[in-house]
Amino acid sequence: MSNFFGTDGIRGEVGKSPITADVLLKVGWAVGSVLREQNENPSVIIGKDTRVSGYLFESALEAGFLSAGVNVGLLGPMPSPAIAYLTKAFRASAGVVISASHNPFQDNGVKFFSSMGVKLSDDTQKAIEKKIAMPMVSVDSASIGKAKRYEQALGRYVEFCKSTFDKSLNLSDLKIVIDCANGATYHIAEDVFTELGATVIMINNSPDGYNINFNCGATDTLHLQKEVIEHNADIGIAFDGDGDRLIMVDHKGEKVDGDELVCIIGNAWKESGDLKSDTVVGTKMTNLGIRKALSDNGINFIEANVGDRYVMDQMIKNKAILGGEGSGHIICLNKSTSGDAIIASLQVLEVLAKSGKTLLDLKSRMTKYPQVLINVKTDVKIDFNKDSKLTQAIKSLESKLSETGRILIRESGTEPLIRIMVESTNNDLANESAEQLAEIVKSM
The answer to whether 179 and 204 have CB atoms below 8 angstroms apart is yes
CB atoms within 10 A of CB 144: 16
Question: Mind listing the pLDDT tens digit of every residue in the chain (444 residues)?
Answer: 346 776 668 999 999 999 999 999 999 999 999 999 999 999 999 999 999 999 999 999 999 999 999 999 999 999 999 999 999 999 999 999 999 999 999 999 999 999 999 888 888 989 999 999 999 999 999 999 999 999 889 999 999 999 999 999 999 999 999 999 999 999 999 999 999 999 999 999 999 999 999 999 999 999 999 999 999 999 999 999 999 999 999 999 999 999 999 999 999 999 999 999 999 999 998 998 999 999 999 999 999 998 888 999 999 999 999 999 999 999 999 999 999 999 999 999 999 999 999 999 999 999 988 889 999 988 777 766 666 788 888 888 888 887 778 898 888 776 788 899 999 888 889 999 999 999 888 887
- Which residues are part of the catalytic machinery? 101
Could you give all domains of the chain from N- to C-terminal order, each with its CATH number?
Answer: 10-152 (3.40.120.10), 173-255 (3.40.120.10), 257-363 (3.40.120.10), 371-442 (3.30.310.50)
Task: Please write the tens of the pLDDT for every residue from 237-293.
Answer: 999 999 999 999 999 999 999 999 999 999 999 999 999 999 999 999 899 899 999
Pairing of strands 246-249, 199-203: unpaired
| Cα–Cα distance measured from residue 427 to residue 433, given in angstroms and rounded to the nearest whole number | 10
**What is the per-residue pLDDT for 2?**
43
The answer to whether 395 and 440 have CB atoms below 8 angstroms apart is no
**What is the per-residue pLDDT for 371?**
86
DSSP code string of 251-318: TTS-EE-HHHHHHHHHHHHHHHT--GGGEEEEETTS-HHHHHHHHHTT-EEEEE-SSHHHHHHHHHHT
**What is the per-residue pLDDT for 119?**
85
Strand partners, 39: none
**What is the per-residue pLDDT for 443?**
82
Strand partners, 422: 372, 407
- Cis amide linkage into residue 79, ω under 30° from 0: no
Backbone angles phi, psi at 66, to 5 degrees: -60, -40
**What is the per-residue pLDDT for 319?**
96
The answer to whether 328 and 257 have CB atoms below 8 angstroms apart is yes
Backbone angles phi, psi at 265, to 5 degrees: -65, -45
Question: Could you tell me which of 440, 438, 432, 373 has the C-alpha nearest to residue 397?
Answer: 432
Q: Strands, E, within 356-416: which ranges?
A: 371-377, 405-411
